[in-house]
Structure 1
């Protein structure tokens, strides 16, 4: 029997020596109930770890599918003013929506069922990915298509937040190896999606003459849209199949004993809360003592956030620096080599960044590469600001043609690789350090672990939203028009 009160959601009711529950005999002087975390020496279940890898993929699949389909979306907006600012509007709609829903999920994380949120979110995400798959067939009015993409992006953002919040909390409760698998899965899906996109584009433009490339550039990348359409159809279709497989794996996960004994306890929280409250009320009536209220979940959230602010700020700023330029600005960088097709160049730049992001997260699987100090992680996060001017020095398309300071395509790709590597590395360091009872002495107990992970997930979305909005300002520095104009 497990009881859960407002303050501690995983606490086992103490038993007397004869095995009888002693919850009714607790006094106000009794020590607080505790629950020990999983033993650090316990073997890691590889099947569960791979399931969390898949769930990590699922949390970022919608975002990566959307940003890698930018070429397809823009091909449907040819001849409209919205084509130029589409990336900024889409990323802003996605991330601002995510921020609002992330705030809600964070506040209600202790009163929710992780299993139901995970399974329900996967179903909704699969549905909207299927709608995008269908959208690759008909031709619709550009204005209607623009609105369709934004609405679907908003819905997918909200569902993705419910999914990621529950996945982060579960991985944190199970331990570091499962958190590592989750964040690695997020980067791996980006690499897979961008690889599929690049291969599709390569097959479509193979053998194109330099004259045709020059014409493509002169016409601002306007083609017949067939290449972008077929590439989008492939990876949206594959995404639907992947989400269906992940749903089956998630159902299997909820039936595993390790999951039931840790994360699964939250699924029965409402019932356990009633048991705990009934026990407390009976004790108050019998003893005549006043019921002493427990701290509210909101106070725990604020305390954990305040105590771990360096980690929270590091996580948020990591994504602020990234989204300020990627992909809204980086997708406007043109190749300096006239023989390189711009479509391939854009797809390659997504792949390079995503490979770097995956490597950055993978590096954290080596203990010697992990930094536990909050101040050092914060310094690494702030240093990433240098990537903003570095990208602007490259061959960015501007209102007035200016020779780029960095005229090498190879050097530009190396900058992107470093941008992605540092993004994945600093983010993973923050997630591992903030949820580590052994290294993060700001945590007061095992009950703070999932709160810290959930708050870090909130700061991720906060950083994405702020960075997306900041991209409008960065874009204003390279054009002489209103960056918000459609």
Structure 2
């Protein structure tokens, strides 16, 4: 048992590592014999266990983000009622995470040629596992509730930044390895990212419902804290599952041949300048899609979760299962179900699939309407009756917010890096286009988090 655990946590061996110039995208110009060999090994390379492993790794990429935003309502209860930080804590946490993720993802991409994907995945998972365990115990149940507001806020932000570091390097490594493996594995990563959001929010909702059984419990009491502890304990187990999935891929018979694949490289005279020139060229070609994917997440993060976590049920008196400690987790679950359906199923419907960048940009800009729609719901504090004085209407808006987030975001990512769907992009520009789209997505998350402060001030009047 201990031998297996050491193997799981051990640094990737020299045999499994790849030199700086070795792990590059598969060559487009392979000869006929290479194609025949790949056809013969197709069943092994793309077997269900491989797909499941990448699904789990994709889930791990967004595990910390989804667990973090689901824990924000608990963090808020640790502050005194008159704390000035309390009303904007969701914006502070999401901004710290997204800007940290953007910064460290940039560092990871700059060093992408110096470190193998497996090494980045391994060390980022270990960092994520240690952080999740510390949050599970002793941070959430013992340390945070006892800290003064002056120490509580920086401690929460520090934990948030550490989570953003692990996520940035994990994201960089997982997408690099999946790109080398194949398009099916990239889709598995994307599906896993949506799936983990549903799973985390479902766990949070179940724990919140269990916590409400104690009618004497006050908001932020022991049961709510234990619900947060349970959420991060589940995250720790999920991170262990990611380590197992990564180990399975490294032990796969095709791992070495996949990671040692080479392709056409940049000229050796001045590769950095060539890469910068190619990046600018691809960005100009895909400028509409880059703006579209960024705007999708600017709109979403400006209201979800900083504003949506202030919305409570319109029912008076409020039933036990619609109290804020259940109502807020329920809205997380509805959004994530919508997002998962939007990114997984909507792009496969021919009537909804479009490759036109202007049309995709128009759809992205239309999502701006969700901001005033959220304003019309039962945000708190409020002195007047909301225009949408119905929980059902609010839940419908949340589901549509999630559906369009997943649907339009996936359209942008799919079309941006596919020469078959996007005639502006050449085959050898595929990787650069995909990387740029991912970077613009993260940029949208960061800008949206910062914009939530402005939106929150508008809500307060």
TM band (smaller chain): 0.7 to 0.9
Gaps of 5+ in 2: 1-17
Q: Which moved more, 1:141-150 or 1:253-262?
A: 253-262
**Does residue 1:393 correspond to 2:376, yes or no?**
yes
What are the residue-to-residue correspondences of 1:37-48 with 2, within 5 Å? Answer: 44-48=46-50
Q: Secondary structure at the match of 1:317?
A: helix
Aligned to 1:376: 359
Q: How many residues align?
A: 429
State the distance in 1 between where 2:20 and 2:239 align: 35
**Does residue 1:254 correspond to 2:264, yes or no?**
no
Aligned to 1:108: 111
Contact kept, 8 Å, 1:88 with 1:469, in 2: the verdict is: yes
Q: C-alpha offsets along residues 200-259 of structure 1, whole Å, 9 cap, x if unaligned?
A: 111221384xxx8xxx9xxxxx63522320111111011101101111211221333444
Contact kept, 8 Å, 1:4 with 1:11, in 2: the verdict is: no
Q: Quick check: which has more Rg, 1 or 2?
A: 1
C-alpha change, 1:78 and 1:345, in structure 2 (3 Å) is: same
Q: Secondary structure at the match of 2:141?
A: coil
**Does residue 1:146 correspond to 2:153, yes or no?**
yes
C-alpha change, 1:304 and 1:251, in structure 2 (3 Å) is: farther
Aligned to 1:63: 65
C-alpha change, 1:14 and 1:397, in structure 2 (3 Å) is: closer
| 1:295 positional shift | 5.5
For normalisation by structure 2, the TM-score amounts to 0.84
Q: Which moved more, 1:336-345 or 1:406-415?
A: 336-345
C-alpha change, 1:123 and 1:8, in structure 2 (3 Å) is: closer
Gaps of 5+ in 1: 20-34, 217-221, 281-290, 481-486
What are the residue-to-residue correspondences of 1:132-211 with 2, within 5 Å? Answer: 132-134=135-137, 135-138=139-142, 139-143=145-149, 144-206=151-213, 208=215
**Does residue 1:121 correspond to 2:124, yes or no?**
yes
Aligned to 1:83: 86
State the distance in 2 between where 1:87 and 1:395 align: 18
Structure with greater helix percent: 2
State the distance in 1 between where 2:286 and 2:158 align: 35
Aligned to 2:314: 336
Q: Secondary structure at the match of 2:459?
A: coil
Aligned to 1:454: 435
State the distance in 2 between where 1:417 and 1:15 align: 45
For normalisation by structure 1, the TM-score amounts to 0.80
What are the residue-to-residue correspondences of 1:270-349 with 2, within 5 Å? Answer: 296-337=274-315, 338-339=318-319, 340-349=322-331
- Among 232, 239, 245, the alignment partner of 1:243 is 239
State the distance in 2 between where 1:207 and 1:236 align: 22
| 1:428 positional shift | 1.4
